[in-house]
Amino acid sequence: MSIINQLKPEFWHNSDLSTGPFRQMFNFRRIWKISVLLTSLVTLLPLIIITSVDYNFTQKSIESDHLLRTLRIGSNAKRSISFFLSERLSALTFIVRTNPIEELAQPEKLDFILKNLLLSYHGFVDLGVIDQSGVQINYVGPYPLEGKDYSNQDWFKEVQGKGFYISEVFLGYRNTPHLIIAAKYALANGSFYVLRAALDTTRFNELLRGFELSGRGDAFLIDHAGVIQTPTLYHGKVFDTIPYTIPAYSDHTEIREESNKSGEEIIICSAYIPDSPYILVIVKEKDELMKPWRDTRFKLIVFLVISITIIVLAIFGFSTYMVNSMYLLDQRRLATLHQMEYSNKLASIGRLAAGVAHEINNPLAIINEKAGLIRDIITYTDSGSQNLRIPELIDSVLASVERCGRITKRLLGFARHMDSAIENVQLGEILKEVLGFLHKEAEYRNIAINLDLTNDLPQFQSDRGKLQQIFLNIINNAFSAMTVGGRLEIRVKRKGEGHILVTIGDNGCGMSEADLGKIFEPFFSTKTKTGGTGLGLSITYGLIQELGGTIQVTSKLGMGTTFAITLPLQPPRPVQRDS
């Protein structure tokens, strides 16, 4: 038998074998299925719905939190970069307005101003003064740029119109990445001059690297054409073009989601830096940002699975226990009803047998009396000498009458003990009475019966009627299991000081190990196709328990079956029930 079959409850294997008016009240499999289904729906469905809603809500909240946090960092970075550039441009504008061209044209004065700028502001590399013709008339710094002509360069043309200029990062004459800022000062005579300063991009880079970015975040600047202006960690080199869409112009910091070349989702925060050619770009990988959430999600899913498993096991266990209890109660109800029906049938049979025996005994008495009278007449007159067969025939009639008398006496004895009563019994006599009912069938089927009684069997207190039913049921079963030529062994002996052991063994068909464990269950029968109800041994088991005894059975398929019945010499005390 497989483990699954062993785990199945008793009602799962049940099929309604009861007949007549007493049948099972419910379809227990269907009740169990409905109970499990409804209980699971009521308990698990709300749990799954609430968990799903909470899961989606939490995930969206975390995603929204990452977007807002990145947007806030982008806004702060935009203000920091804008302040960095405007601060230096304001310083340059202040210098050009407070110092006449004559002083700015002096190298010593310009060098003094540059040194003071470096003390107050970081990032300045050099200073240059350019006249209205575009020629740099004075320059202090590490590069030989004095006398350079910028008249044809775009920045010089732009500063003439706007009054100031902030460049993109470029190589220029010095062949190193840098940016310049320039401020124009118009003279009263209509001419002008420009104060121009180069800024080191290192300060830019340090400023961008100072932001704490999670999720493999990367902050850098691009120009309006998408060319990278500052070093990036994962998105290309300076002067490369970014692999993402250039954000449309907006006065506000914007954020969007898109996929990179690998198909991974990324978050891009962008902000145009006012009065400059720069766009701040912050790129974060969404997968990295959501990694802590995935770890938490895995724990939640494991917790949910464990919870559902425990709930399902509890539902299965509780439903199985409840339905199985209902099944056992229903089986007990059916067994009680059938036992009552069985007792009523036995009582009716007993009354019928008593009536038949009584009706037969009267004519038997007359036949016996008349036959005896005929024998006396023949014996004491000469008429018997005329035919010698007449005495023999009369003896045969008297023998038959005596045999009929024993049968009716046995029937009366059987009927007299249908009611429950404790009395002195001799077990050998009871067995002989029971075998007396069956000896004709044994003769017809050539079944050999061996009754072995030890000499030390005492009389004891027990219920004669119940003992008759017990032995009649077991011997009837043994007859059913045997074919023609079978053998029935009945042995009775004392077992210890207080018990008697009766073993009834046959050499019939036997039973399998699986059937052996169920033979005392109500309605279990291997003879359902031949009319068996499965109640005989169940009732026998109950009667033996009522007498305070025990019954054991051993059997091998094809070898036969042996019942061992242990009966106490003293009847059990009646159970005192509460009123």
| Crossing angle of the two packed helices 107-120 and 28-98, in degrees rounded to 10 | 150
Q: 352: pLDDT confidence band, cut at 50, 70 and 90? A: confident
Count of all residues that appear for the chain in the document: 579
Supply the pLDDT for residue 387.
66
Q: Is the pLDDT of residue 136 over 80?
A: yes
Q: Where are the alpha helices (DSSP H) in 163-267?
A: 201-209
Among 471, 482, 499, which Cα is nearest to 566's? Answer: 499
Among 126, 123, 119, which Cα is nearest to 141's? Answer: 126
Among 416, 408, 409, 414, which Cα is nearest to 360's? Answer: 408
Give pLDDT tens digits for 517-544: 777 776 666 665 555 556 678 778 888 8
Give pLDDT tens digits for 101-128: 889 999 999 999 999 988 888 788 999 9
Q: 368: pLDDT confidence band, cut at 50, 70 and 90? A: confident
Supply the pLDDT for residue 575.
57
Supply the pLDDT for residue 535.
66
- Write the DSSP symbol of residue 339: H
Q: Is the pLDDT of residue 579 over 50?
A: no
Give pLDDT tens digits for 257-282: 988 888 889 999 999 999 999 999 99
Q: 15: pLDDT confidence band, cut at 50, 70 and 90? A: low
* Higher-confidence position of 4 and 141: 141
Q: Is the pLDDT of residue 501 over 90?
A: yes
Give pLDDT tens digits for 67-100: 999 999 999 999 999 999 999 999 999 999 999 8
Q: Is the pLDDT of residue 12 over 90?
A: no
User: 551 in the Ramachandran plot: left (φ > 0), alpha (ψ -120 to 50) or beta?
Assistant: beta
Q: Among residues of the chain, what percentage have pLDDT more than 90? A: 31
Q: Is the pLDDT of residue 137 over 90?
A: yes
Average pLDDT for 323-338: 84
CA 95 from chain centre, in angstroms, equals 79
Average pLDDT for 314-326: 90
Residue 437, Cβ density class (10 Å: 0-12 exposed, 13-18 middle, ≥19 buried): middle
Supply the pLDDT for residue 491.
93
Give pLDDT tens digits for 187-207: 888 889 999 999 888 877 888
Within 10 Å of residue 398's Cβ, how many Cβ atoms? Answer: 16
C-alpha angle with apex 300: 294 to 301, nearest 5 degrees? 90
Distance (Å) of CA 235 to CA 218, 276, 284, 430, 433: 8, 22, 11, 105, 107
* Higher-confidence position of 513 and 282: 282
Give CB contacts under 8 A, 24+ apart, made by 2-8: none
Q: 386: pLDDT confidence band, cut at 50, 70 and 90? A: low
